[in-house]
Structure 1
Amino acid sequence: MDNRLGATAFAKINIGLRIGPRSSDSYHPIMSLFQSVSLSDHIVLRWWEDGDRGGTSRGGGGGKEGEVVVVGDFDCPPEATTLYKAAMVFLRGLGIGARLRIEVDKGIPAKAGLGGGSADAAALLVLLNKAFSTGLGPGEIAELGLSIGSDVPFFFNGGTALVHGRGELIERLPSSREFGILLIQPSFGVATPWAYGALDSYRAGRRGYADLCQWDARAVEAKKREIVEELEKPLSDWGFVNDFAPLLYREYPAYGRLDLLLRSAGAAFVSISGSGSSIYGLFDNPEKALEAKERLLEAAVGGATGKLLYGMGLHAIKPLETSLRLG
């Protein structure tokens, strides 16, 4: 029997991203406002129970571990995707011997700081929990997600949330005010492991680095209060900081020009999302973001703007209250 379920997995942007020093377990603590946005991947899960015919084996072995094939346009082998990892974690962890075929229509760019891989993993775990009626509760499914990636737990609910720790500590906030987002995806990607390693080297020996080491419970609470207070201000007064920005602006001069371009188009706030490579501008409403996109596309026909935006993607999107939609 050919069973089928689908889900839309939505991306996120980081509004501010503070990064603490590397800990003894090699992770960096973070503090960030995560916001779900209307850029998405669509995932279709097909499955066959043991004894059914069908399905295709790839990687993953057989028997109780199950057999998994992942199909989509990825920047890595299918077996290295978070979807494949999520499927195997689920099947092995629950002792299910089924065949899975996972098809993905990618709309979230890779290596863009938008959480596409984590969003996909969370969506697939929800689909698997439903498909096999395993009845995992929120805590259990979040634990599976955390074993795949530090920020996967956010994507089970999404919306607006204060995220800290390794990314697993999530405090949902009231939905952010209405605004529009114009996101620019450069022609290059930024690998997260490289970004963290480069940030450590960039910071070493710099004045003020010792202040970053203040990441105890008291400092974390202070940072949380700062974020909540900042949210109350007008967009143009936001002082949210992405700690990767100085490094990335130095390594990729295009960021400085893109920052100016977004501001000249009317953006009230501009930031890189996550560790890059995407950069976005916030506008008072979605209509203004769309108008700015159209103006930039018109200006890109020849001239300096065209050279700067060549090979880049422009997306006029909006904030969402969820990161997952079934169907």
Structure 2
Amino acid sequence: MKLLVKAPAKINLSLDVLHKRPDGYHEVEMIMTTIDLADRIELTLLNEDKINILTHNRFVPDDQRNLAFQAAKLLKERFAIKEGVTIAIEKNIPVAAGLAGGSSDAAATLRGLNKLWNLGLSLDQLAELGAEIGSDVSFCVYGGTALAKGRGELITEIPAPPTCWVILAKPFIGVSTAEVYRRLDLKNVHHPNIGKMIEALQTKDYDKVCGQVGNVLEEVTLHLYPEVAQIKEQMKRFGADAVLMSGSGPTVFGLVQHDSRMHRIYNGLRGFCDQVFAVRLLGERFPID
């Protein structure tokens, strides 16, 4: 049996860090939403008791370091599954980009194997399992738009943003999330107003959404990687309505409503950046069936 599952990327409309927790993680408040840039995960059941990862991307591990592998292993162990699976990952989301590509692959694997192995788990149960794999996996299980608290695993659904284009630009660098958090000085950051962003989403007010975007990690990454700051400035200059770095970076995204301006920004950025995408917001949760 085979099953094909989409694994969409996410962007952070708001990302705030409150404090460091006793367990070593940081307490965060984030508003995340899914976008129409997705990996494709093909799951094929095996009679043998093993997990295979197939990928043609040299930056994606094909062993136990892969989060999709970890998702399959967790389900096998938790529910005593004797069947194996081959997980073929077609990468469209840039790797190590602040877009939760690996987490979304893991979440898609959880949703797909829930169906193939007839486990009958709810999204809430899958999200709880996802939290054991990584901080963004719980959100990616649900998809849509949500407020994430704790270390990212406490998810509250909120309304989707108004329809618009999202232009993404990622330079050919990797950013260490651990290093960005290590350098974050919480005494000297401008915290985004999460409450006002939620209000803007509830009223579907595009201008207010654009006015409330914010990411406390951005200043650290911009300081460490000047090319990220350069992309952000170019995107602003080309006329995006809001520009922000997603996650710990290095991907920068811009929001824009008009097709003509989207094309202008997209074409302009291609001269400055290795990977540029223009996609739509998704913003709605996955169904469970």
Global fold match (TM > 0.5): yes
2:50 corresponds to which residue?
Answer: 67
1:303 corresponds to which residue?
Answer: none
CA distance in 2, matches of 1:314, 1:181: 10
SS class of match (1:17): strand
Q: How far does residue 76 in structure 1 lie from its aligned partner after superposition?
A: 4.7
1:143-190 Cα distance to aligned partner (Å, 9 max, x none): 211111122111122122122221112221222111111110111011
CA distance in 2, matches of 1:115, 1:237: 22
The aligned amino acid for 1:78 is D
1:54-79 Cα distance to aligned partner (Å, 9 max, x none): x6xxxxxxxxxx31110112525322
SS class of match (1:36): strand
SS class of match (2:26): coil
The yes-or-no answer on 1:244 pairing with 2:217 is: yes
On the 8 A contact 2:197/2:208 being kept in 1, the answer is no
CA distance in 1, matches of 2:33, 2:263: 19
Which ranges of structure 1 fall in alignment gaps of 5 or more residues?
50-54, 56-65, 213-221, 301-307
CA distance in 1, matches of 2:70, 2:127: 15
Give 1 or 2: higher strand fraction.
Answer: 2
Which ranges of structure 2 fall in alignment gaps of 5 or more residues?
none
2:19 corresponds to which residue?
Answer: 21
Change (3 A) 1:245 1:95: same
On the 8 A contact 2:103/2:137 being kept in 1, the answer is yes
Q: How far does residue 320 in structure 1 lie from its aligned partner after superposition?
A: 0.3
Aligned pair count reads 283
CA distance in 2, matches of 1:250, 1:5: 43
Comparing 101-110 with 67-76, greater Cα deviation is found at 67-76
Larger Rg: 1
SS class of match (2:181): helix
CA distance in 1, matches of 2:269, 2:24: 41
2:160 corresponds to which residue?
Answer: 175
Q: 2:227 aligns with which of 239, 244, 254?
A: 254
SS class of match (1:32): strand
1:190 corresponds to which residue?
Answer: 175
Q: 2:44 aligns with which of 40, 43, 46?
A: 46
Q: How far does residue 226 in structure 1 lie from its aligned partner after superposition?
A: 2.9
Change (3 A) 1:93 1:11: same
On the 8 A contact 2:210/2:255 being kept in 1, the answer is no
CA distance in 1, matches of 2:285, 2:275: 22
SS class of match (2:110): helix
Q: How far does residue 286 in structure 1 lie from its aligned partner after superposition?
A: 5.1
2:197 corresponds to which residue?
Answer: 227
Aligned 1:84-95 pairs, distance under 5 A? 84-95=69-80
- The normalised TM-score by structure 2 is 0.90
Q: How far does residue 137 in structure 1 lie from its aligned partner after superposition?
A: 2.1
Identity in percent: 30
The aligned amino acid for 1:97 is K
The aligned amino acid for 1:228 is I
